């Protein structure tokens, strides 16, 4: 007995030593090696709630790391929505990169201690990519607030102009970083996302490009989900004391409440947020987090203070609206079923994933949900989404169809949306829709922010 007790003491001592200590990440810039070391340490220390993987390589062969955080980090679970943050796609916009490392640190060290964070991580799978453009970050020679090398990737392509565009042909050579992200978006059913930039202070929401049908004649370009996007941008901006003021940068920009429609600010082609919304069924906004693109390290603690509440509250929005599964009469989940809200049709219809799941981000209210199995009549259901509770779950509603999965060949085909300028097919499209003012402003503004 005595010997066993002694062994147990010894075991406890060992366990104590092996238990993760508070990571205490420092406030300085982490270059690729440091960042990798940090991510690997976190993945080791918190192996049950994290999963580290690389989604591909940069031009120079640097890994594009993603750390997944959550109760089930290694794979999707039915009912748990996928969320992501991507930073540093412009290599010289560095605040987001460090904020995401601090966010990782905060999430893993709060799990099991802070009930709110624990619930969030239990109910959400959070993907964090601190740098989409590691080559650009390493290429910055003399950090400057405005003019840096390193905005583009190693081939000097602006990655936020490098995605397929739904509004016009953008004949660009697609870069490895872009292709890696496009592939990644196909592997997960992302529901909500933000990409983190610098050079201004504003939360900007889709579209970034547009045509007459989306409001371009009125110098803006709106999605059918504009109420949700305004809410999302507002959720972020209203918790950041400087962003919400709208005019804190010395460049005469003024954004009421710290939010703006992307096109209304300035149009751009081939952006990542429009691509996410149109082709990946994922609502994404663009966050400009600092007037200075590459501020001094001493400022980093202030940025963390200003953004911490926003970063957390924004993730919670993945639980807005309604979610569920579509089944056949025998209870098999049905993939590729179109599930949309009447009057907010997406140009590439949003479809159930291989688990028959759908997620629709919606504000509280009454909606008609249109569930359409290809080749069958639409099935319309009125639903009421109750006022938001801090429940960490969207309103749940499953649908059952009186058919058999195996007998329906339509479901086997892969109905991916074509990569063409889809909006050109819209009735009111006209090539001459852009306000000519922008033709002069765009080349100037182009260089600087999102
Ligand atoms: C991981 O654990 C080690 C040893 O317990 C500790 O020194 C280190 O700070 C931890 N690192 C992180 C990133 O959590
Ligand atoms: C989170 O999940 C863990 C593991 O399933 C469970 O033990 C814990 O009670 C949950 N915590 C909260 C706050 O939901
Ligand atoms: C696209 O650009 C490449 C070279 O950059 C050119 O060879 C090709 O003809 C272009 N294609 C179209 C359809 O404009
Ligand atoms: C329901 O959705 C299908 C597929 O997108 C569409 O063809 C149909 O017009 C929609 N029906 C209604 C009443 O909105
Ligand atoms: C919270 O969510 C659960 C399951 O998703 C549901 O059963 C419950 O009624 C919800 N509670 C509130 C207060 O909305
Ligand atoms: Zn940018």
Which residues does residue 192 pair with via DSSP β-bridges, in sequence order?
83, 283
Indicate whether residue 110 lines ligand 2 (CB < 6 A). no
Q: Give pLDDT tens digits for 36-52.
A: 999 999 999 999 999 99
The ligand placed nearest to the CA atom of residue 393 is 5
Ligand 2 centroid – CA 127 distance (Å): 19
Indicate whether residue 396 lines ligand 5 (CB < 6 A). yes
Provide the pLDDT confidence category of residue 447 given band limits of 50, 70 and 90: low
Q: Give pLDDT tens digits for 60-106.
A: 999 999 999 999 999 999 999 999 999 999 999 999 999 999 999 99
Q: Give pLDDT tens digits for 377-408.
A: 999 999 999 986 668 999 999 999 887 665 55
Q: Give pLDDT tens digits for 273-296.
A: 999 999 999 999 999 999 999 999
Spatial distance between the Cα atoms of 331 and 334, rounded to a whole number of angstroms: 9
Tokens of 289: 């987090």
Ligand 2 centroid – CA 50 distance (Å): 15
- In three-state secondary structure terms, 423 is helix
Which residues does residue 382 pair with via DSSP β-bridges, in sequence order?
368
CATH number corresponding to 7-319: 3.40.630.10
Share of the chain above pLDDT 70, in %: 85
Region of poorest pLDDT, from 60-64, 173-177, 298-302, 386-390: 386-390
Where in the chain is CATH 3.40.630.10? 7-319
Q: Which of 295, 293, 303, 230 is nearest to 262 (CA)?
A: 230
Contacts (Cβ under 8 Å, ≥6 apart) of 98: 27, 29, 30, 130, 300, 303, 304
Where in the chain is CATH 2.60.40.1120? 322-406+417-423
Beta strands in 58-101 (DSSP E): 63-69, 82-87
Residue carrying the six token digits 């990644």? 184
Fold of 322-406+417-423: Immunoglobulin-like (2.60.40)
Q: Which of 19, 52, 47 is nearest to 35 (CA)?
A: 52
Q: Which of 42, 40, 49 is nearest to 69 (CA)?
A: 49
Spatial distance between the Cα atoms of 163 and 182, rounded to a whole number of angstroms: 8
Contacts 24+ apart (CB under 8 A), 414-422: 414/336, 415/336, 415/351, 415/374, 417/278, 417/279, 417/347, 417/348, 419/164, 419/279, 421/165, 421/166, 421/167, 421/168, 421/169, 422/166, 422/278, 422/347, 422/348
The overall average pLDDT reported for the chain is 89
Q: Give pLDDT tens digits for 323-349.
A: 999 999 999 999 999 999 999 989 899
Provide the pLDDT confidence category of residue 8 given band limits of 50, 70 and 90: very low
- The single residue of 177, 188, 288, 340 carrying the catalytic annotation is 288
Region of poorest pLDDT, from 73-77, 90-94, 366-370, 442-446: 442-446
Q: Which of 202, 174, 362 is nearest to 275 (CA)?
A: 174
Spatial distance between the Cα atoms of 350 and 277, rounded to a whole number of angstroms: 10
pLDDT on residue 20? 46
The ligand placed nearest to the CA atom of residue 288 is 6
Ligand 1 centroid – CA 46 distance (Å): 9
Helical ranges in 84-150 per DSSP H: 95-110, 115-123, 134-139
Spatial distance between the Cα atoms of 401 and 352, rounded to a whole number of angstroms: 14
Which residues does residue 195 pair with via DSSP β-bridges, in sequence order?
86, 286
Query: Is residue 412 predicted with pLDDT exceeding 70?
Result: no
pLDDT on residue 449? 87
What is the three-state SS of 231-267? HHHHHHHCCCCCHHHCCCCCCCCCCHHHEEEHHHHCC
Indicate whether residue 118 lines ligand 2 (CB < 6 A). yes
Region of poorest pLDDT, from 17-31, 88-102, 206-220, 304-318: 17-31
Determine the angle formed by the axes of helices 300-316 and 95-110, rounding to 10 degrees: 60
Share of the chain above pLDDT 90, in %: 77
Spatial distance between the Cα atoms of 354 and 125, rounded to a whole number of angstroms: 17
Contacts (Cβ under 8 Å, ≥6 apart) of 16: none
Closest C-alpha to ligand 1, atom 14: 23
Tokens of 246: 């709208």
The answer to whether 229 and 188 have CB atoms below 8 angstroms apart is no
Q: What's the rounded mean pLDDT across residues 359-371?
A: 97
The answer to whether 130 and 35 have CB atoms below 8 angstroms apart is yes
For residue 288, indicate whether it is catalytic.
yes
């Amino acid at each position: 007995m005595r010997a066993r007790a002694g062994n147990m003491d010894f075991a406890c001592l060992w366990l104590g030593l092996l238990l993760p200590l508070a990571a205490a990440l420092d406030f300085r810039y982490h270059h690729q090696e440091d960042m990798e070391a940090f991510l690997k340490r976190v993945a080791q220390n918190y192996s049950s709630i994290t999963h580290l993987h690389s989604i591909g390589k940069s031009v120079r062969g640097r890994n594009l790391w993603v750390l997944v955080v959550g109760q089930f980090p290694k794979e999707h679970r039915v009912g748990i929505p996928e969320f992501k943050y991507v930073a540093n796609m412009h290599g010289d916009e560095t605040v987001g990169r460090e904020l995401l490392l601090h966010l990782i640190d905060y999430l893993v060290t709060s799990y099991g201690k802070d009930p709110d964070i624990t619930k969030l991580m239990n109910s959400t799978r959070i993907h964090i990519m601190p740098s989409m453009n590691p080559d650009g970050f390493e290429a910055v020679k003399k950090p400057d607030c405005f003019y840096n090398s390193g905005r583009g990737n190693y081939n000097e392509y602006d990655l936020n102009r490098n995605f397929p565009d739904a509004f016009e042909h953008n004949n660009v050579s697609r870069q490895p970083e872009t292709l890696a992200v496009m592939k990644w978006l196909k592997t997960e059913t992302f529901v909500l996302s933000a990409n983190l930039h610098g050079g201004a202070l504003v939360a900007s929401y889709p579209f970034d490009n547009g045509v007459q049908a989306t409001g371009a004649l009125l110098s803006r370009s709106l999605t059918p989900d504009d109420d949700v996007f305004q809410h999302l941008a507002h959720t972020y901006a209203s918790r950041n004391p400087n962003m919400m003021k709208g005019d804190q940068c010395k460049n005469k920009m003024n954004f009421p409440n710290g939010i703006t429609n992307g096109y209304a600010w300035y149009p751009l082609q081939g952006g990542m947020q429009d691509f996410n919304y149109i082709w990946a069924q994922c609502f994404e906004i663009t966050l400009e987090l600092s007037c200075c693109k590459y501020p001094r390290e001493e400022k980093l603690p202030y940025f963390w203070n200003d953004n911490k509440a926003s970063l957390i509250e924004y993730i919670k929005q993945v639980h807005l609206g309604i979610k569920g599964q579509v089944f056949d009469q025998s209870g098999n989940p049905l993939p590729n079923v179109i599930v949309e809200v009447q009057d907010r049709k997406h140009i590439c219809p949003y479809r159930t994933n291989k688990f028959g799941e759908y997620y629709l981000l919606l504000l509280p209210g009454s909606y008609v949900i249109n569930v359409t199995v290809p080749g069958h009549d639409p099935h319309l259901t009125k639903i009421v989404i109750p006022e938001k509770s801090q429940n960490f779950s969207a309103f749940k509603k499953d649908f059952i169809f009186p058919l058999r999965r195996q007998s329906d060949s339509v479901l086997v085909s892969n109905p991916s949306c074509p990569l063409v300028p889809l909006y050109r097919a819209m009735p009111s499209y006209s090539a001459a829709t852009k306000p000519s003012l922008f033709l002069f402003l765009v080349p100037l503004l182009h260089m600087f922010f999102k």
